[in-house]
Structure 1
Amino acid sequence: MSNNLPTPYFMIDESKLIRNLEIAKQLKELSGVKLVLALKCFSTWGVFDIIKPYLDGTTSSGPYEVKLGHETFGGETHAYSVGYSEQDVKEVADICDKMIFNSLSQLTAYRHLVEGKASIGVRLNPGVSRAGQDLADPARQFSRLGVQEAQLSSEIFDGLDGVMFHMNCENKSADDFIALLDSISERFGHYLDKLDWVSLGGGVFFTWPGYEVEKLAQALKQFSEKHAVQLYLEPGEAIITKTADLVVTVVDIVENGMKTAIVDSATEAHRLDTLIYNEPASIGESSDEGLHEYVIGSCSCLAGDQFCVAKFEQPLKIGQRLHILDSAGYTMVKLNWFNGLKMPSVYCQRSDGEIQKLNEFDYQDFKRSLSQWSVK
């Protein structure tokens, strides 16, 4: 059936999603940590019914994500933003369980709007991190993310329920994470002892093949017991990694020193992180031993817009479909209408093989995104 679906489209695989969720369940059981889904990474709420039995709630990076988590996921709803407006706080204070402020100035300005409604916390910047890209490094020079250690005093924590650290990005090493955890315990432990909960953020890639889940769980459990706090992790990519493909069709093949297969999609519009982080995509039909090499090029007008360079055992043909692998995280949440390209539909293949449509888009969606009314 999927071969008849018009491209481009995303296909989420329920069986692969459950595989990741079972690892998350194991981590929770061994460590006592609670897990809240990071909606900034993945917000396709049509599959939340699959995820909800495994996780404890959601966490946000903006007010609309708070509302989405509250309405479609339930459980605990954590509200965080780098910069709230007063109206933002008023809109979410009644529907969130935890409100985490990015700075002491925001805490001072808005805590009165939250007291008695939600648990209050702040984000701390530990000054250390594990991130492969400077763009995604929360401890980068002049970082605006979280309160710096030098700005802290014991009195601040007398009026807090918890804190959030976020210092990882696709960290695939339990040992690296434990080193960060030890640093936090040593430098901030006397503050944490006053609190009820600590969130250690996201970016801990515990579903990566070979990750030492039991070692991570033991470290989390020891940290939680040492400081008498409930720990949280905020997984995004760890939950949905390798669960969805972007399916595209080759619409043309051109050559200018190298063959380029142009597909009916674009990184600029449909897989933005490929472009932003210069991280080439992987193609399901490719082969490292293949003798036929192609640039997989986008159909946008941006000259450098391409998915990757890939080799194939047979020459590509116009009309052939390709699967761009691992296209869930930080992908569907960043879709845009650049060049007026057709937006990919979204499907879920259930464990029994049934394919369910979650969303599709048409010209009217594109038109509405630009204006609703004309100047009279």
Structure 2
Amino acid sequence: GLEGVSGLHFHTHCEQNADALCRTLEHVERHFKPYLENMAWVNFGGGHHITRSDYDVNLLIQTIKDFKERYHDIEVILEPGEAIGWQCGFLIASVIDIVQNDQEIAILDASFSAHMPDCLEMPYRPSILKVSVENDEEIIEVEKGENQGAFSYFLGGPTCLAGDFMGSFSFETPLKRGDKIVFQDMLHYTIVKNNSFNGVPLPSLAKLDQQGFKILKNFSYEDYKNRN
């Protein structure tokens, strides 16, 4: 039996709207209703894209109210997913070398395995910008998509891990040493999952707002030495 169990938890969503929760609850109630009736709480998991502009918040509210009414005012928990930091945060890397190995590979000072492990684990292909300087003018270019631009590259990190790369990414103009690669929408996993594998430095944390740009924290060797 379930003696001593006070709640149930399911996690089936990833970047979903409220209608997905409605379908999930139909399944959950069909198979687990006798157990729900004896529970004090239920966790609907994460993956609810609540801050997205087209998210049906009213449907979510009504769905939770109806569920609580059916189950003796059971406590309903929603996990804070990526929606709390969706489309927020940039990870800015520099191109430190361009090498050739079957195709062009741009080596960055940022690591997928150390700084962006979710990109490899999901896998998740981030949206990126290329920032270059020509004749003292800053030029920003949006990455075109795999093999959609004139110049295609794999992007590789500086660690010894053979899988520390992603690709391909393509641009209308070639990459060169010193160009910046801006990984967009990186706040929700980069800060909590980054690590100092291979001794690579952790990225500095900075804030950009109406008052300007401010470095909040730089990481040193002491942070690396004391981390483990």
Contact preservation (8 Å) 1:301, 1:339: yes
Greater shift, 192-201 or 327-336, is seen at: 192-201
Matches within 5 A, 1:1-376: 151-152=1-2, 156=3, 162-208=6-52, 210-227=54-71, 228-285=73-130, 286-288=143-145, 289-350=148-209, 352-369=210-227
Q: Which amino acid aligns with 2:144?
A: S
Displacement after TM superposition at 1:178 (Å)? 1.1
Residue 318 of structure 1 deviates from its aligned partner by 0.7
Contact 1:207 1:238 in 2 (8 A): yes
CA distance in structure 2 between the aligned counterparts of 1:290 and 1:171, rounded to whole angstroms: 28
Deviations 1:311-342 (A, max 9, x none): 11211121111111221223221221111111
% identical aligned pairs? 34
| 2:112 maps to amino acid | T
User: Are the equivalent residues in 2 in contact too, given 1:166–1:200 (CA < 8 A)?
Assistant: yes
CA distance in 2, matches of 1:215, 1:305: 41
Question: Residue 49 of structure 2 aligns to which amino acid in structure 1?
Answer: F
Structure 1 residue 172: deviation in Å? 1.6
Which segments of 5 or more consecutive residues in structure 1 lack a partner in the other structure?
Answer: 1-150, 371-376
Deviant stretches of 4+, over 4 Å: none
Q: Residues of 1 paired with 2:116 and 2:13: CA distance?
A: 18
Q: Deviations over 1:186-208 (max 9, x none)?
A: 44334434454432221223334
Partners of 1:297 and 1:184 in 2: CA distance: 43
Which has more helix, going by share of residues?
1
Whole-angstrom CA distance in 2 between matches of 1:296 and 1:171: 26
Structure 2: give runs of 5+ residues left out of the alignment: 131-142
CA distance in 2, matches of 1:217, 1:342: 43
Pairwise CA RMSD = 2.3
TM-score by length of 1: 0.52
- TM-score normalised to the size of structure 2? 0.82
- Measured in 2, the distance between the counterparts of 1:209 and 1:295 equals 33
Give yes or no for contact 2:206–2:214 (8 Å, CA) kept in 1: yes
Task: Work out whether residues 8 and 36 of structure 2, in 8 Å CA contact, stay in contact via their aligned partners in 1.
Answer: no
Cα distance in 2 for partners of 1:277, 1:368 equals: 29
Question: Is the contact made by 1:282 and 1:308 (CA closer than 8 Å) also made in structure 2?
Answer: no
In terms of fraction of residues, the more strand-rich structure is: 2
Q: Which residue of 2 aligns with 1:124?
A: none
Retained in 2: the 8 A contact 1:253–1:261?
yes
Deviation at 1:246, TM superposition (A): 0.7
